[in-house]
Every structure is written in C-alpha cells, then in structure tokens.
Structure 1
Amino acid sequence: MSAAPAHILALRFSALGDVAMTVPVLKQLLAQNPALTITLVSLPFHRPLFENIERLHFYEADIKKDFKGIGGLIRLARKLKNDIRFDAVADLHDVLRTKIIRNFLGPAPLAVIDKGRKEKKELTRPKNKKLRPLKTTFQRYADVFIKLGVPVDISCQTLEIRNQKSDIRNRTSARIGIAPFAKHAAKMYPPDKMKQVVQQLADNSHHTLFLFGSKAEAPVLELWAAEFKNVQVVAGRFTFAGELQLMARMDVMLTMDSANMHLASLYAVPVVSVWGGTHPWLGFYGWGQDPENAVQTDLPCRPSSVFGNKPCPVHGEAGCMQEITPEMIVARITKILDR
C-alpha cells in the first residue's frame, strides 16, 4: 500500500460560494493530518478566504487574463510543475479547464470530485422526484482527499467559537447583515418583499442593518437605506477582504442561497437563508448552520433547479418563494437575536 501524499495540489476556481465551501473542509483536513501540506490553486480574488491557515498555500492563477485559453492553461500546468513539489492532485472542480490542467501536470496520483449529477437531476426533475437529502458538497470535497489516502472526518459541523472584541451583550444595538441578491433570479426573494423585511427590522431602534451586495447593486440598496437612520450600505464601499471583516462582526446574516451564506458561515455568523427553486437537500447549505434557519415552503415543484439558473416550470422566476412572507423571515431573525 502506497504512503499517503505529503503535499497535495488542489484545484478550484469558481464560483465564489463553492470556493468558500472548501475552506472548512481544508481546515479539518489539515488539522487531522499534521504532516500534510496543501497548495490551493484558485482565482486571485479568492485569496482573503485562505489567509492564516497553517500549511495551506494559496497559489493565485488568473485564468481570465494571465492564463487565458487552452494555451494559457497548459502554461499554468507547466508552471505549477516547476513551482510546486506536490505528490498528488485533487480536482475539486472537474470542469474543462481543470481537466486540461491536470492532464499536463505529469504522472501523480489524481482524485476528482463526484458532483452527483444523476441524483441531483432526480431531485430536481419536474415529475417523479426522488426527494431525499443528498451528500453535501463539503463531503464531496472530503471524499476527494479520502480517495488519495488522506483520512478526514467532517461529520461534526459546528460554527467555530467567535473571537470578537465586543459582545452583543455589551452593545445597545444588534448588527444585522442583509445580502438580498443572488446570481440568478430564481434564488432571489422579490425586492418589494425584501424591502418590507428591511423596514420591519429597521423599525426596531436597537437594530443596525448593513446591506451587502455588488457595486452594481448599490444604487438599489442606497434607495432603501435613505429611508432609515439605522440602515447602512456596504455594497461597493469595501474591498473583498474588508467586506469579509465587516461580515464577521454581524450578529446574524440574512441571505439567499448564495455565496454570502457560505462567507458568513466561515466566520461563525448565524445565517437566515431564503430558499426558492433550490433546496438545502441538494448539498449546498452553509457549514454548521441550523437547518431551522432555512426559510422555505413545501411546494411540489421544489426543488426545480440545482443552481437556480432555471425558472420554476410551474411558478416562473422566484415563484417558489411566493408563500414566504416578510414576517416569516423577520421572526426567524428575531428568534436568533433573542437567543
């Protein structure tokens, strides 16, 4: 039996939420295997996610600029071979570009993620759905390393102890982060209803609300914030690293099934997430998050999409959220703050 690898080269480029989901797995992997070193190859933008993790080296590769196209990916593979003395490869992405890279990395043990496409299709098809919780993406990542002969147990998924300078009990205001947007419309709570959520939360003078989003989404959030003294817009005002630092200070986050759910989870922030066409059973729920904090309703059409990139065939875009009221969301946030 061959020895377990000492240095694993791991590949994962996108999307942001999926990359963020590698972080707790890699932390567990390194903690349970003190002789192991990992080099993660990813986009430069993702670097802040992996800072200060012992024995984890971040290798940034801009595949949209410096290593663009097939020729660029081949150059990247050759550069990785020259720069890093790895003895195994973990493909945590399994897309065309990682297939090209790994084919030019030379003869090293390789393990590739099993994305479970067949069972996900069974769960999201319009008729005769096989409704059951599927293996989590965290476990799918862990399985890649297990295939390489490196054991890792991620069965205990808990939010890490938060190390904050100020505790909520020593403050007069609770910090509530709200990230109302998602990449796809089918995963977004209707804006008019989300504004009602903001209004109901802002009516409590002991709440301070922080609205997260992209620079392009900031104008909408500015309009919402203009009506309330205790609502601040974060979107477009910080670097990614700065936004993460601010998110880590929230007492609760409200998100869609989006990257922000996973980013907040990295900092042990309780997350209330709103679900429509997608479903936690597909394996993308936040690390250590309480299942009760997933706000959703049971509709026979759900889930209708793995990634939320397709409208519900029955209700259209965001239609699977039709029965979720602002009061349901506010009640869940309030319950967390009361605890």
Structure 2
Amino acid sequence: MGDVAMLVPVVLALIKAQPEIKITLISRSRFAPIFAGIGQVQFMAAEVNGKHKGVVGLWRLAKAIKKTNPDAVADLHHVLRSHVVRLFLKWSGLPVATLFKGRQEKQKITKNFDPKTPWLTSSHERYAAVFRSLGLTVDLTPHLVANHKVPKDDQATQLRDNLPRPLIGIAPFAAFPGKAYPEAMMRQLITEVSQKWKGTILLFGGPGKEQNTLNQWSQDHEQVRNCAGSGTFAQELMLLQELDVMIAMDSGNGHLAANFGLPVITLWGVTHPCFGFAPFAQPAENQLCADRTHFPKIPTSVYGKEMPEGYDKAMETIIPEMVINRLSDILDKTNTL
C-alpha cells in the first residue's frame, strides 16, 4: 500500500502544473479510496486474480487501457506484470516511460552503509522523473498536500467533532517483525501519551489479529479508540485526515497521513530512511532510527525482510521518551495542546 500512497503528492503536482490533465490510474480496487476526491483521476481496477490474470488477462487489461485513449503510459510499478502490459501498449504505438527503482544502489547500501552518505532519491521523486520523461511538469513542494482531503461522510464529521484534541494517531504494525515496535514498549508509549495529553489516541491497523490486539490495547485507557475494523478503508481515511499527528512504523499508514499534510513520526527498526521511503515532506527530525552503534548491520535489507540474530531487539533502542519528546515538539508548534 505504501508504494501506491506515495503516488498522491506526485499526482497532485501533475494536476497543479497541468490543470487539464486526465489521469487513468490502474491498481487493485482496494486502493481506490486513496485517490478519492481528486477529480482528474479515473481509477481502473486491475483484477490480477480474476479477468486480468496471466498473459491473456494482461492483454485484456492493456486493451481496456487503450480504450481510454491515453496520450502516454507511465509504468510506476516496474514488475513483470506491469512490464507485460507496458509492452502491449508500446506495441500499439503509445509512448511509454518506466520507473527506475535503483535496485543496485539500494542493495549496495545494505552491504556497506555509510551514514554520512546522502540519502538516495525519494520514491516520490522517482515517480516524478517518470512523468518528466514524458514531457510533463512535476514540482514536488510540501504545500501540495496541505489542503488535500478525501470526501467525508456525516459519521466521520460527527466523530471528529466529538473527540477531544489533540488527535494522535498510532499505527503500530508493519509487514515484517523487524519494522514493528515491541508490544510492551508500544503499550508503555500509549500510556505515557495518554497521561501527558488529554486528547484522543486513535489506533490504526488491519482486520483480524491486528484488530483484536488493538481492541485489547484500547480497553486500557478511556481516551484510546481502535479504528481498525470499525468501518471501510474509505472511512478510515476520513478519520486519519483529521489527525494532528501520526506515529507510524516504516509502513503504509505513515504515507497515508503525510498525504494530508500531517506531521508523521516514523520509527525505523531494521530499515532506514536512506532508501528514499520516508513519508512525503517529513523532516529528518521525524525519522527516529534504531541505534546503529549496537546494531551496525542496519539497514539489514531494503524492505526489512532480513533480520539477523539479535536484531529483533533493534527497535528497543528507540525508547518511548524519544517519541514523546518529538511529539511534544510537534504539538507545541501546532498549538493543539
């Protein structure tokens, strides 16, 4: 989800520079709410496990894309499936451009990371480069997302108006264990945040196991609410955009929050923001990284799949006090205390 979410600022920049542009965005249907409210975007669902499965299915998808009469095609995924679709469209005479992921330079960092070396080009800029190669203007500036909102329903509006501020979001989960804050420390952090600020803590996560875990945590404190499984993904975004600040792991929720111009504190375990995956327009001060003095192999891999023995303790070097201090700095500036 994070890769898709990072496209939002780029789309907004495209529209600002080319107000008449029309964009057909092809992805899995569950990601459609991320682009709700952006009038120039038409969403087309890629049913990769259904009618668009296999080479014949991808040919069918390419034909559907061709029927939208595009002037050009941008492949922002650069995987085998998108490569096949791109070839079909290129053979039909359309100009195409492809994302450069920088895989080799990222792998090189995992083998020999020098913290003094400048961070790699962000994913947002890599997306923007694809559109620039097609002759389009893309100027990525922080204010792009300042007023971005998804349409909200009455229930979300009522809930927002009735919740004490500040509204502090916490998304404690990640795709891999080495990227997630230890449960005991997260519960301690939630306790300390609830004691320091008399606002509302909103917990975000997926259905099933994550939802059940957050239900248990929310019962510990009156001002903590679990948003996981309480509505649709679209409704979750309606709540998320009303936050004053988000605390997240190296995961999709941080990118979703940043798309609404929110300050996002990201906790990095066995991964590192040097790869260019930090949420949009977030300062270095918001990137809280595990201590490489004790865990020098960080980043252990690009996406956090690799966790050497003992590195399950890496996140423990980001103590709750560090998060609280950064949170205080942010809320002091936004006057939401």
TM-score tier by shorter-chain length is 0.7 to 0.9
Provide the residue aligned with 1:315 in structure 2: 310
**2-structure distance, mates of 1:147, 1:162:** 26
**2-structure distance, mates of 1:326, 1:127:** 26
- The more displaced of 52-61 and 85-94 is 52-61
Give per-residue Cα distances to partners, 1:118-164, cap 9 Å, x unaligned. 1111111157788431001011001101111112222x224514789
Identify unmatched segments of 5+ residues in structure 1. 1-15
**2-structure distance, mates of 1:231, 1:89:** 45
Q: Is the 8 A contact 1:122 1:129 kept in 2?
A: no
- Return the TM-score normalized by structure 2: 0.88
Provide the residue aligned with 1:256 in structure 2: 249
Provide the residue aligned with 1:177 in structure 2: 169
Provide the residue aligned with 1:209 in structure 2: 201
Q: How big is the shift at 1:290?
A: 2.3
Provide the residue aligned with 1:94 in structure 2: 78
Provide the residue aligned with 2:24 in structure 1: 39
Structure with more of its chain in helix, by fraction: 2
**1-structure distance, mates of 2:192, 2:199:** 10
Q: How big is the shift at 1:35?
A: 3.7
Q: Does 1:143 align with 2:129?
A: yes
**2-structure distance, mates of 1:162, 1:77:** 31
**1-structure distance, mates of 2:113, 2:188:** 34
Provide the residue aligned with 1:111 in structure 2: 97
Q: How big is the shift at 1:41?
A: 0.8
Q: Secondary structure at the match of 1:302?
A: coil
Q: 1:171 to 1:100 in 2, by over 3 A?
A: closer
Q: 1:295 to 1:205 in 2, by over 3 A?
A: closer
Q: Does 1:292 align with 2:269?
A: no
Q: Secondary structure at the match of 2:23?
A: strand
Q: Secondary structure at the match of 1:322?
A: helix
Q: Is the 8 A contact 2:2 2:252 kept in 1?
A: yes
Q: 1:95 to 1:153 in 2, by over 3 A?
A: same
The alignment covers a number of residue pairs equal to 318
Q: Is the 8 A contact 1:123 1:130 kept in 2?
A: no
Provide the residue aligned with 1:12 in structure 2: none
Equivalent runs, 1:111-130 vs 2, <5 Å: 111-125=97-111
Q: Secondary structure at the match of 2:311?
A: coil
Q: Is the 8 A contact 2:291 2:317 kept in 1?
A: no
Q: Does 1:190 align with 2:209?
A: no
Q: 1:53 to 1:177 in 2, by over 3 A?
A: same
**2-structure distance, mates of 1:284, 1:153:** 18
1:152 counterpart (131, 138, 149): 138
Q: Is the 8 A contact 2:164 2:200 kept in 1?
A: no
Q: Does 1:336 align with 2:321?
A: no
Provide the residue aligned with 2:60 in structure 1: 75
Equivalent runs, 1:229-308 vs 2, <5 Å: 229-299=222-292, 300-308=296-304
- Return the TM-score normalized by structure 1: 0.87
**2-structure distance, mates of 1:173, 1:29:** 34
Q: Is the 8 A contact 2:163 2:200 kept in 1?
A: no
- The more displaced of 123-132 and 21-30 is 123-132
Q: Is the 8 A contact 1:123 1:129 kept in 2?
A: no
- The more displaced of 38-47 and 329-338 is 329-338
**1-structure distance, mates of 2:94, 2:131:** 14
**2-structure distance, mates of 1:97, 1:162:** 31
Q: Is the 8 A contact 2:168 2:243 kept in 1?
A: yes
1:133 counterpart (112, 119, 123): 119
Q: Secondary structure at the match of 1:150?
A: coil
Q: 1:309 to 1:130 in 2, by over 3 A?
A: farther
Task: Give the aligned residue type for 2:82.
Answer: T
**2-structure distance, mates of 1:134, 1:321:** 23
2:217 counterpart (216, 224, 230): 224
Q: 1:128 to 1:48 in 2, by over 3 A?
A: closer
Give per-residue Cα distances to partners, 1:156-205, cap 9 Å, x unaligned. 22451478989x9x985311111100111111111111111011112246
Task: Give the aligned residue type for 1:334.
Answer: S
Q: How big is the shift at 1:301?
A: 2.0
**1-structure distance, mates of 2:196, 2:315:** 25
Q: Secondary structure at the match of 1:182?
A: coil
